Amino acid sequence: MNDWPRPHYFFAVKLPDETKSFLSRWVGGAFPKDWFGRWVHPLDYHITMAFLGNVKENKVKDFSLRMADMLKEETAFPLTLGETGYFGKKDSPRVFWAGVQDSPPLAELQRKIFRLCLDEGFRLDQKPFRPHITLARKGTEHLEPGSVVKPIHHPEGTPHTFFVEQVVLYKTARRESPKYQELVVMPLKK
């Protein structure tokens, strides 16, 4: 049986359901749907910490036990949404995302997760960590250049803050929606 495309695996910060709902409502009210070709299902919102790619599931599930041991010593921390942005050309962005405000605890957590994955022998992308939540892909000709960058806030103008309390090992299921399956949930210390 041909299982192409093969699933990919990654470790990510799990967003609380309340944050996913808020972000989905906010994006729906702030941006026209026809600006991007593919919008991410709100249940798939996350912040990737280490993308493992196409690896053997049993290897990564076994490794996640080591990851969980490390993470149970890490303390949960607050994180605040920042503004939207994009990757790619200004007139044709390929990824539209929600950013977060600068967070030394998030950067340190990512560094530890990344290091443990490297120590285990996983090949990881060496680009600098740019924490973001992917919202959509494939900008269209309807897109107004430069208008995709907006601060994210509640109607009264206050920022949205949530607690980072869990890291999850996700598996992609590309033909499904939502397309990310939680394999292992690893709590941080509260």
| Residues 135, 154: Cα–Cα separation, whole Å | 18
Residue 112, φ and ψ in degrees, nearest 5:
-70, -40
For helices 57-71 and 104-119, give the axis angle rounded to 10 degrees: 140
Query: Helix, strand or coil for residue 126?
Result: coil
Instruction: Return the DSSP state at 119.
Output: H
Find out whether 13 and 47 touch, Cβ atoms under 8 Å: yes
Q: Which residues contact 15 (CB under 8 A, 6 or more apart)?
A: 23, 45, 46, 47, 133, 162
Q: What confidence score (pLDDT) does residue 146 get?
A: 67
Q: What is the mean pLDDT of residues 32-52?
A: 93
Chain centre to alpha carbon of residue 5: 21
Helix (H) or strand (E) holding 50: strand 46-53
Q: What confidence score (pLDDT) does residue 11 get?
A: 98
pLDDT for residue 78 is more than 70: yes
Q: What is the mean pLDDT of residues 34-45?
A: 92
The CATH architecture assigned to 9-187 reads Alpha-Beta Complex (3.90)
Q: Which residues are part of the catalytic machinery?
A: 46, 132
Q: What is the mean pLDDT of residues 16-24?
A: 98
Q: What is the mean pLDDT of residues 15-31?
A: 95
Provide the percentage of residues in the chain whose pLDDT is more than 70. 94
The pLDDT mean for the chain works out to 91
For tokens 């939540």, what's the residue? 133
Find out whether 46 and 168 touch, Cβ atoms under 8 Å: yes
pLDDT in tens, 113-142: 999 999 999 999 999 999 999 999 987 776
pLDDT for residue 29 is more than 70: yes
pLDDT for residue 189 is more than 60: yes
pTM for this prediction: 0.93
Q: What is the mean pLDDT of residues 91-99?
A: 87
Q: What is the mean pLDDT of residues 149-159?
A: 94
Q: What confidence score (pLDDT) does residue 1 get?
A: 38
Structure tokens at 137: 């892909």
pLDDT for residue 12 is more than 80: yes
Of 74, 68, 58, 71, the residue nearest 9 (C-alpha) = 58
Rg (CA), the chain: 17
Q: What confidence score (pLDDT) does residue 94 get?
A: 87
pLDDT for residue 3 is more than 90: no
